[in-house]
Amino acid sequence: MLNKVMLIGRLCADPETRFTTSGSQVSNFRLAADRKFKDKNGELKRDTLFVRIVTWGNVAKKVSDYLTKGSLVYVEGRLSIRSVDKNDQKVWYTEVIANSVMFLDKKALSSSTKENELPDEEYDFVPEEIEEIP
């Protein structure tokens, strides 16, 4: 079985960061990924996909420290679909649980390397309390 997602896009807003009751950091953001194509008349069209991205641990810390609305990133992770009961109704969420986030903007790269940190490190982090994410 294979569950792998790779996306390049820009953040729709600044990341939102929270901590679980056990102290694990989680940062969420929405990513806008474009697909350009020509329609049957040869006109150039753009289709934008908005994807919710969830990061944990060290990846979440770097995301919250260095990324802002409009930042260009490469995200690699796995697709997750979960449900939450809200007001006696089941609400479904489709999101990408990111294993790694690579910063593609020069601005984020330069601020990251100033502190001798590489922004594209990969982490295998398994969240303990995923049910706490709304």
CATH code of 82's domain:
2.40.50.140
Contact 100, 77 (CB under 8 A): yes
> What tens digit of pLDDT does each residue of 6-62 get?
999 999 999 999 999 999 999 999 999 999 888 899 999 999 999 999 999 999 999
Task: Give 134's pLDDT tier (boundaries 50, 70, 90).
Answer: very low
Q: What is the pLDDT of residue 102?
A: 94
User: Whole domain around residue 67: which residue ranges?
Assistant: 5-119
Tokens of 44: 């150039």
Q: Confirm whether 134 is domain-assigned.
A: no
The pLDDT of residue 122: 40
User: Does any domain span residue 98?
Assistant: yes
Given a cut of 70, is residue 109 above it in pLDDT?
no
Q: Is residue 35 part of a domain?
A: yes
Residue 131 lies in a domain: no
Does the pTM surpass 0.85? The reply is no
Residue 105 lies in a domain: yes
For residue 124, tell me if it sits in a domain.
no
DSSP E strand stretches across the chain: 5-11, 16-19, 25-38, 44-56, 72-86, 89-103
* 87 belongs to a structural domain: yes
Find where tokens 């990513």 sit: 31
Confidence of residue 106 (pLDDT cuts 50, 70, 90): confident
pLDDT of residue 121 exceeding 70, the answer is no
Higher pLDDT, 81 or 111: 81
| pLDDT tops 70 at residue 96 | yes
Domain count, the chain: 1
Tell me the β-bridge partners of 32.
10, 50
